[in-house]
């Protein structure tokens, strides 16, 4: 049974995420690392009567390395969150260095682990992980995931509301592709199941798209300086981690959008390059998960003219974010 590690475990996302992982019977070991407060979180969680044995680490005495030893899945919500008026890219200055150092520790201690990146800006932090892993000769695109599940969770919720039955949210599926910030988030509403009503107005579609793209801002504004989404993110992060863990355990046919390096499947993301008409390096697309990580990247499928325009609008920002992340490592080499 696998060992899961949370880096940034004492934070706004880290604590509820660690709770959800502790409550799961999919793992037997839960290892928590943060630069502060890990002992308290561990003492608290360790009283819960579930199989996972919880251990906690702080930086002294090789805490990070000890936390990562034998890891199968590493989930990373370490880093600073947004305040009102900030973009996710504004977090790069602080978070890029944090994730670079965590990536180095993973590369040297648990290079075969599945790495699930939550820290923003995801469009850039995932390329940082990839470049650090490349430098250490351990990059495997099938095992590195940017967690975009919160966009999918929001899309399910908002589409169900528009369909007049919020309670049906768990049964709604909507592919959300591209990246994880503003216009790079592209919901393919035409592929919603159950479908949106045929007479849904263009204005309504635009409103819904905008709400999914900027859902994070709603929470940042409501928290009024106290951070960004934590509870919904913990839920979404756990959902994605459970899918990865189930696939690791041999379950077949598990599909979820995730932000990956497009070399992760056998044809190098060719299907997505063809659909987009350009060779973007990283993209959030529906991926089929297996015991070795990404088994297959699925095509985006049929998109409307409106969705095609959204994809075209997403690519310049996404490509800029990718270059910024990659060069943070390669330019320093």
How far, in Å, CA of 186 to CA of 151, rounded?
Answer: 9
Contact range with ligand LMR by CB under 6 A, out of 171-179, 215-223, 280-288, 301-309: 215-223
Q: For residue 5, list its beta bridge partners.
A: 31, 74
Tell me if 269 is assigned to a ligand binding site.
no
Q: Which two structure tokens, joined as six digits, stand for 36?
A: 């502060």
Q: Which of 4, 6, 10, 289 is in the footprint of ligand NAD by CB under 6 A? A: 10
Q: Is residue 65 part of the contact set for ligand NAD (CB under 6 A)?
A: no
The CA-based dihedral angle spanning residues 133, 134, 138, 144, taken in that order and rounded to the nearest 10 degrees: 50
- Find the shortest distance in angstroms from Cβ 305 to ligand NAD: 28
| Binding partner of residue 7 among ligand NAD, ligand LMR, none, CB cut-off 5 to 8 Å per kind | ligand NAD
How far, in Å, CA of 20 to CA of 42, rounded?
Answer: 13
Tell me if 98 is assigned to a ligand binding site.
no
- What is the DSSP code (8-state) at residue 293? E
Q: Which residues are catalytically annotated?
A: 180
Centre a 10 Å sphere on the Cβ of residue 333 and count the other Cβ atoms it contains.
Answer: 7
Contact range with ligand NAD by CB under 6 A, out of 32-40, 47-55, 261-269, 318-326: 32-40
Q: Is residue 12 part of the contact set for ligand NAD (CB under 6 A)?
A: yes
Residue 160, CA distances (Å) to 141, 164, 167 in order = 34, 6, 7
Encoded one letter per residue, x for contact with ligand NAD by CB under 6 A and - for no contact, window 118-147 reads xxx-x------------------------x
Q: Do residues 291 and 114 touch, judged by C-beta distance below 8 A?
A: no
Q: Is residue 78 part of the contact set for ligand LMR (CB under 6 A)?
A: no
Q: Is residue 318 part of the contact set for ligand LMR (CB under 6 A)?
A: no
| Binding partner of residue 219 among ligand NAD, ligand LMR, none, CB cut-off 5 to 8 Å per kind | ligand LMR
Q: Do residues 150 and 156 touch, judged by C-beta distance below 8 A?
A: no
Q: Do residues 32 and 101 touch, judged by C-beta distance below 8 A?
A: no
Centre a 10 Å sphere on the Cβ of residue 40 and count the other Cβ atoms it contains.
Answer: 12
Chain residues that interact with ligand NAD, rule: CB under 6 A: 7-8, 10-14, 33-36, 77-82, 91, 95, 98, 102, 118-120, 122, 147, 150, 180, 227-230, 233
Chain residues that interact with ligand LMR, rule: CB under 6 A: 81-82, 88, 120, 150, 216, 219-220, 228-229
């Amino acid at each position: 049974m696998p060992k899961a590690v949370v880096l940034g475990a004492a934070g706004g996302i880290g604590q509820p995420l660690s709770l959800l992982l502790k409550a799961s019977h999919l793992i037997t070991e839960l290892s928590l690392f943060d630069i502060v407060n890990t002992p308290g979180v561990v003492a608290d969680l360790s009283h819960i009567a579930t199989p996972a044995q919880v251990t906690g680490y702080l930086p002294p005495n090789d805490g990070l390395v000890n936390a990562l030893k034998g890891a199968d899945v590493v989930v990373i919500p370490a880093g600073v969150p947004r305040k009102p008026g900030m973009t996710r890219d504004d977090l790069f200055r602080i978070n890029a260095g944090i994730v670079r150092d965590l990536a180095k520790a993973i590369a040297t201690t648990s290079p075969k682990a599945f790495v699930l990146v939550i820290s923003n800006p995801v469009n850039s932090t995932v390329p940082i992980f990839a470049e650090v892993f490349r430098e250490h000769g351990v990059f495997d695109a099938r095992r590195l995931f940017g967690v975009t599940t919160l966009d999918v969770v929001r899309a399910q919720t908002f589409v169900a509301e528009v369909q007049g039955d919020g309670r049906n949210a768990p049964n709604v599926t909507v592919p959300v592709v591209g990246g994880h910030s503003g216009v790079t988030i592209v919901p393919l509403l035409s592929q919603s199941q159950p479908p949106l009503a045929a007479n849904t107005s263009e204005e309504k579609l635009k409103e819904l798209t905008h709400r999914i793209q900027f859902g994070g801002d709603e929470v940042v504004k409501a928290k009024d300086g106290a951070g960004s989404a934590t509870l919904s993110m913990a839920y979404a992060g756990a959902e994605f981690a459970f899918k990865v863990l189930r696939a690791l355990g041999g379950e077949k046919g598990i599909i979820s959008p995730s932000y990956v390096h497009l070399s992760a499947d056998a044809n190098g993301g060719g299907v997505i390059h063809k659909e987009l008409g350009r060779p973007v390096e990283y993209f959030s697309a529906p991926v089929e998960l297996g015991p070795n990580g990404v088994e297959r990247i699925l095509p985006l499928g049929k998109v409307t003219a409106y969705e095609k325009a959204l994809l075209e609008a997403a690519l310049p920002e996404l490509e800029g974010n990718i270059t910024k992340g990659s060069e943070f490592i390669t330019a320093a080499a």
